[in-house]
Structure formats: structure tokens, C-alpha cells
Amino acid sequence: MPRYKLTIEYDGTPFVGWQHQTNGISVQSAIESAIEAFSREKVRLHAAGRTDAGVHAFGQVAHVDLEKHFPAYKIREALNYYLRPYPIVIIEAEETDDLFHARFSAVERSYCYKVLCRPAPPVLEKKRVWHIKRPLNVEMMQQAAMFLIGKHDFTTFRASECQASSPIRTLNRFKITQEGNLILFHVLALSFLHHQVRNMVGSLKLVGEGKWSPEDFKRALEAKNRQAGGPTAPPEGLYFIHVRY
């Protein structure tokens, strides 16, 4: 049974998230329907990571097993044809072996969160950034973010509905850069808790506004209590960037 690795880009705005939901169309269900349309096979996609409603992706990865063999480039072209009604594109399709698993073979995932700091709201990037009207202190936020690097109990930045068996995660990198009015939060780890990136960014915003010091942020992390953390940043600023295997 051939297995295919798909690299996927999508605008998460119209979707209820990656995973199947009963309250609307998901990215997963849209792609599975497109696969069925050209292959006449009902399939289940396995993704490197689930994204919430409104979250975008430049490099989501999924794999699918098909009964029939197709050249990889034909799968890419056929899927992009049937996905035309949706803001989803298959960047690349590759045939792989059954040892590859989109989720379990991953060794690192990267996300980027985008914040636009200016008085005027976005037009071209509407629903693609978190709009904050006032400037944020990037240097202070970067100082605070350094406390996140390494292995920690991230309960403070974990959603209450998170289903992970442990709140322990190891953050490999957290870098904050600024390009004009745009602030980018770059985060790398093997895996993340539900809402972890958005909760970390929401808490760092308090540092950037001067409401918290970097030491306050550290104390929030060490509290291991979601109530000690800041707000959850909205989904539209979050992007699934890349998976390393």
C-alpha cells in the first residue's frame, strides 16, 4: 500500500481547525474529500500537528495511504484541482515508505506568531496577525522569553482542555524579531501543549506593555498554574511553519 507525504499550506480563517469537527468544515476533511474525489478511496489523513480554528500553516505535513499507486506529482496536481474552492494548497507530494509517520517521525516543529503594532487596523493582513495599537518592548519580551528555553512544566501556558498526558515540554528556541511594525515570535520544539504558543505570546505581551517585568513572567512560569498566566493570544496570528524529520 503506497504511502504519500503531503506538505500543505492553508489559510485557517474559514475552517474549524485541522481536525474533523461536527460544527463545520476542517482542513483535514477538505483534503480527505479531495483525495476521495480523484482516487475513489475513503482515507484518513495523519498530520504532524493539529491546528485550531483560525490558525494558518506554511508547512503542515500529513501522510495518507492509498490502495492504488499514483505518481506523486499527479497527486499534488489532482488535489490542488479539487481543493480550488478552499484556501488550501498541496505544496509537495512525495512517495515514502511505511516507516514514515507525519506525527511520530517528527523531531522538531516550528511555529511563528505575528503581531502588528500600529494604531490603524490591518487590511491586507486582516485575520492574519494580532493587531495591537501600541508599540511593544521587544527587548524586554526577549529577556522574558529566555526563561522558557529548555525543559519545563508548562502548566501555566497549557489550555484547560489540553489532553496531553504531561505538561512537561522542552523548548529548543524562542526568538523575537521586529520588522517595522511587525513583531515575529519564532518558537521551536519537538511538541507543544494545546494553546501553549498562544498563551506564551499572550503573557509576553504583558511584558511588552510594561505591565509585567521579565521576573514577573518567570514567576508565572514557575507557578505551574494557568491562572497565573496572561491572556490567550487570538488564533489568527499563529502559523505552523515547518516540521523537521
Q: Catalytic residues, which ones?
A: 52
Question: Which candidate, 92, 111, 71, 90, places its Cα nearest to that of 27?
Answer: 90
- Pairwise CA distance, residues 188 & 165, whole Å: 20
Amino acid at 209: E
Amino acid at 17: G
For residues 98-119, one letter each, b for 16 or more C-beta atoms within 10 angstroms of the residue's C-beta and e for the rest, the string is: eebebbebbeebbbbbbbbbee
Backbone torsion region of residue 86, taken as left when φ is above 0, otherwise alpha when ψ lies between -120 and 50, otherwise beta:
beta
Burial of 66 (C-beta count, 10 Å sphere; 0-12/13-18/19+)? middle
Supply 223's cell numbers.
507557578
